[in-house]
Chain A
Amino acid sequence: MTTSFAALSLVALYSAMAVYAIAFVAFAIDLARRSVPAATVPAEHIPVLVVAGGTSTHEAPGRTDSGPLNETTPTTRAHSRASRVAFALTVLAWLLHLGAAVLRAVAGGRVPWANMFEFSLTGSLLIVGVYLLVNLWVDLRFLGTFVIGLMLILLGVATVGFYVDVVPLPPALQSAWLVIHVFVALLATAFFALSFAASSLQLVQVRRESKPTPAVGRFARMLTTIPDAQSLDVIAYRITIVGFALWTFTLMAGSIWAERAWGRYWGWDVKEVWTFIIWVIYAAYIHAKATRGWQGNRAAWLAIIGFSAVLFNFGIVNVFFTGLHSYSGL
């Protein structure tokens, strides 16, 4: 029984990866097309004055420093066919991916996040899930290649390097805190992943925008079709603070669990250390956003370093460091 569900889960996961791969290509085609000068559709949404039975006396909206997401994208393009296909495929792949996680849960009779393979399975599911969800508010299609690419790498490493059979939970993991603490940590990671993507693009945009003469070439043209550095800055910030709040909770829930399991809520165990380091880096990021001289590039670098620390904590500390958190299952 267990084995057959686990096998089905893998089938679903490989199917999801195949569809992700096609979606990745479609996203890439969309980006490539953007670099071809196209008839751009005029911005569909600029908060223009709506006149109630009178004439307009409105001026162009001032530039805001807080709400530019809808307004400052230079040209809002109608979504290309490639991008629509890519998006639909991503949703399809995500549903297969979700199926893989659910089947894995059924196979184990427990939550599917108790070893490295399962962390990767569910963590990447959450990354795409959050990506799709955030798209309901902010158009993040331009990040598709980035996010789905990251996804394929993660799932590739997970299936090749981390796969383990379904085994029962050891007593140390039999706790409600496994459900809460690890899930929220993975969710926070998903937000940090998006913030990493947005911040990286932000740095690219800053470079482009700071050139005295507009660069020519396909890549440069493509860049003009995605949000400018300042919009990316705002997008990254809003995504990061959600991640930070979740990470704060992760750290606290982890402490409570550590107290239940080991008799102390904090002991500078290797995993605790890295959770703390990540928390401090993102606290620094938030401060940077409010500190003169640190906004923009430096803050973006902190977000990138922060996510690198998350990856390090996940991929290196879990697997290669010895500590109390030896749950990789490898």
Chain B
Amino acid sequence: MPALGLVGWARWIWRQLTSMKTALWLLVLLAIAAVPGSLVPQRTADPNGVLQYFKNNPDGARVLDSLQAFDVYTSVWFSAIYLLLFISLVGCVIPRTRHHWIALRAAPPLTPRRLSRMPVHEAHEVDVQDSGPVRAELVEEGMRLLRRSRYRVVTYPEPGDPTGASQSVSAERGYLRETGNLLFHVALVGILATIAIGGGYGYIGQRVVVEGQTFVNTRAAYDSFTPGRFFDNSMLDPYSLTLEKFSVQYEVQNPKALGMATDYTARVSVRDQGSSQGHTSSIKVNEPLSVGGTEVYLLGNGYAPEITVKDPTGKVVFSDTIPFLPQDANLTSLGVVKVPDGLKSQVGMIGFFYPTQAVAANGAFYSAYPDLVTPLVTFNVYTGDLGLDSGAPKSVYTLDTSSMTQVTGRGTGIDSLQLTPGQTVQLPNGLGSVELTGIKRFASFQVAHDPTQGFVFGFAIVILVGLALALFVPRRRLWVRINTSKTGRLVLEYAGLARGDDPGLAAAVTDLAQRHRSRFTNRD
């Protein structure tokens, strides 16, 4: 092996990396590397799926996790592949751009000595004696026709004629093919760079809002919040948004789809920072609301029973609307009520809500329809330590019963509490009472701010246009040469050469030949 030296090696590696072969392998690898992320739940797209995976198969999950299988698209190996690919891409595009820049200014190449060697070639002898003026006219006509078809055209003196009087025509078209190709590849880099850098300035958050509640766009108001790397709180525009009403339309005619929701509409009133006047608007699935530099999307909805808890003297110790999370298509929903203060002991309740309560053969309740027909809430009551003082954040949707005692429901000898709207029932052990004051709906909103979207969209358009040019603009060269036959008559030669795929090459040559000779053929 020859001693290459450091620079030599670097050059060699660079040449390998920027070769078409390497690019191709990297593309194949990229496709393969993307597969596992569709087989294993991903933390960003499906965090609950990941938790479930860990629960079902802890050992396997740990191994997979060490391979970053739950974060495939940010993993070291996936990133390595696409970064190498993009380095290769840049290294490939720069010299090609230089080449193309030169080609754009260059004249079409010298007419080949033997046009019959070209992939498409025609020769026609016409019944006209060769002469200088006819030749000049034919060259002129060839140039005119080609120019009109938007070819770049030059003439070259024929090598056989020392006087330089006879000339051949050389033409080329389709420079946009390579321009499109370069635009396409550059825009790919553009998208990646925009996402890598610009993505850091965005944020995305979720918030559940019950009818009547107001959400103010501050970080603390979010249920969950994912900031970009360069985010700071001053980027939040503190507008407020009140959910006035959430309405749902159900299919009532089609027997095959009874009760299917066909429309969700969130009526909201929005007040921008600094303005005292709010305005009303609506948010639907597929129709987000633009406000304060963010887009607000409707992602989900459900019921939020209003629960009031009183102590034995009748004093209200808790009153709130609690969003219950839907568990099935008919909106059987699950929710948790935590009453930390005011009663003899802390009370937690796990509740089920049935918008249209029905009883199965085995006695279990279920919901038979998603709208409110015969609504019912049931509660299993726990007493003891809610665990709120430990400081660790607790989800409002789960109850940690590890240091609590169940006092109603299965195995306790006391039935679960059952409440219809307006009804009050007593808690066991003289703790107090619970009332289902009313039932509201809630909407869960996603709020997103992404300053890069416009740029990404722009690059996407460039990609599409560039691709169309690169794939469908034919790049070809055509030549016209005028010869003399042994008997002194004119022989017209036409040839074409494609660079890249060109379905129309043969037709282009034939067409040129026909039109160029038309003055001779039309005569007869």
Chain A contact residues, CB within 8 Å of chain B: 2, 47, 49-59, 61-67, 69-71, 165-172, 174-175, 177, 234, 237-238, 241, 244-245, 248-249, 252, 255-257, 259-265, 267-270, 273-274, 276-277, 280-281, 283-284, 287-288, 290-294, 302, 317, 321-323
Contact = CB atoms under 8 A, between A and B. Distances in A.
25 contacts: A47-B122, A49-B123, A52-B125, A53-B524, A54-B127, A54-B485, A57-B125, A57-B485, A57-B491, A70-B506, A171-B263, A237-B501, A238-B503, A241-B471, A256-B457, A257-B286, A263-B204, A263-B295, A273-B38, A280-B27, A281-B31, A284-B24, A287-B20, A288-B24, A317-B38
Contacts of A274: 38
B28 A167 contact: no
B257 interface: yes
Contact of A52 (B38, B506, B517): B517
B90 interface: no
B502 interface: yes
B20 A284 contact: no
A287 B26 CA distance: 11
Interface in B373-395: none
B119 interface: yes
B286 A245 contact: no
Contacts of A280: 27, 30-31, 34
Contacts of B482: none
A55 B125 CA distance: 6
Nearest to B122: A49
Given A59-B121, A277-B34, A248 B260 contact: no
B201 interface: no
Contacts of A284: 24, 27-28, 31
A167 B260 contact: yes
Contact of B44 (A56, A70, A237, A268): A268
A6 B36 CA distance: 40
B120 interface: yes
Nearest to A56: B125
A255 B464 CA distance: 14
Nearest to B202: A264
Interface of B: 20-21, 23-24, 27-28, 30-31, 34-35, 37-38, 42, 44-46, 49, 72-73, 116-127, 204, 251, 254, 256-257, 260-264, 284-288, 295, 297, 299, 446-448, 450, 453, 456-457, 460, 463-464, 467-468, 471-472, 485, 489, 491, 498, 500-506, 510, 517, 520-521, 524
Given A67-B503, A273-B34, A168 B286 contact: no
A262 B297 contact: yes
Contacts of A265: 453, 456
A141 B179 CA distance: 37
A59 B116 contact: yes
Contacts of A63: 119
A234 to B, nearest CB: 7
B246 to A, nearest CB: 13
Given A170-B262, A237-B501, A264-B450, A62 B506 contact: no
Given A52-B127, A277-B35, A167 B257 contact: yes
A272 to B, nearest CB: 9
B484 to A, nearest CB: 11
Contact of B498 (A67, A259, A261, A273): A67
Judged by DSSP, the binding face of A is: loop
B512 to A, nearest CB: 13
A171 B285 contact: yes
Contact of B27 (A237, A259, A283): A283
Nearest to A6: B256
Nearest to B284: A171
A259 B457 CA distance: 11
A282 to B, nearest CB: 10
A171 B505 CA distance: 50
* Residue from the set A49, A241, A252, A273 with the largest chain B CB neighbour count within 10 Å: A273
Contacts of B72: 268
Q: Which 10 interchain pairs have the tightest Cβ spacing?
A: A54-B125, A64-B119, A167-B257, A53-B127, A66-B498, A165-B256, A171-B285, A284-B27, A263-B297, A280-B31
A168 B262 contact: yes
B448 A264 contact: yes
Contacts of B463: 248, 252
From A63, A237, A261, A317, name the one whose CB has the most chain B CB atoms within 10 angstroms.
A261
A69 B503 contact: yes
A277 B502 contact: no
Contacts of A261: 285-286, 297
Given A261-B297, A276-B34, A294-B24, 17 more contacts: A53-B520, A53-B521, A57-B125, A57-B485, A67-B502, A67-B503, A168-B260, A172-B286, A234-B501, A238-B501, A248-B467, A260-B286, A260-B288, A262-B446, A269-B45, A270-B38, A291-B20
Contacts of B118: 62
Contacts of A234: 501
B507 to A, nearest CB: 8
Given A55-B125, A167-B260, A263-B446, A67 B524 contact: no
A252 B461 CA distance: 9
Contact of B471 (A244, A260, A269): A244
A58 B122 contact: yes
A53 B118 CA distance: 25
B102 to A, nearest CB: 20
B290 to A, nearest CB: 12
A237 B498 CA distance: 15
Contact of A169 (B37, B120, B262, B299): B262
A300 B37 CA distance: 26
B49 to A, nearest CB: 8
A171 B254 contact: no
Contact of A262 (B44, B299, B510): B299
Contacts of B262: 168-171
A51 B126 CA distance: 8
Contacts of B27: 280, 283-284, 287
A50 to B, nearest CB: 7
Given A284-B24, A287-B20, A172 B285 contact: yes
Given A248-B464, A268-B44, A291-B20, A64 B124 contact: no
B21 A58 contact: no
A328 to B, nearest CB: 15
Nearest to A290: B20
B498 A268 contact: no
A245 B471 contact: yes
A314 B125 CA distance: 58
A256 to B, nearest CB: 8
The listed residue with most A CB atoms (<10 A of its CB), out of B126, B251, B501, is: B501
Contacts of B460: 252, 255
A70 B504 CA distance: 11
A273 B520 CA distance: 61
Contacts of B450: 264
- Most chain B beta-carbon neighbours within 10 Å: one of A174, A268, A281, A322: A268
B471 A47 contact: no
Given A54-B489, A287-B20, A263 B299 contact: yes
Nearest to A2: B254
A51 B114 CA distance: 20
Nearest to A281: B31
A66 B44 CA distance: 47
A88 B257 CA distance: 40
Contacts of B504: 67
B171 to A, nearest CB: 17
Nearest to B250: A168
A245 B241 CA distance: 42
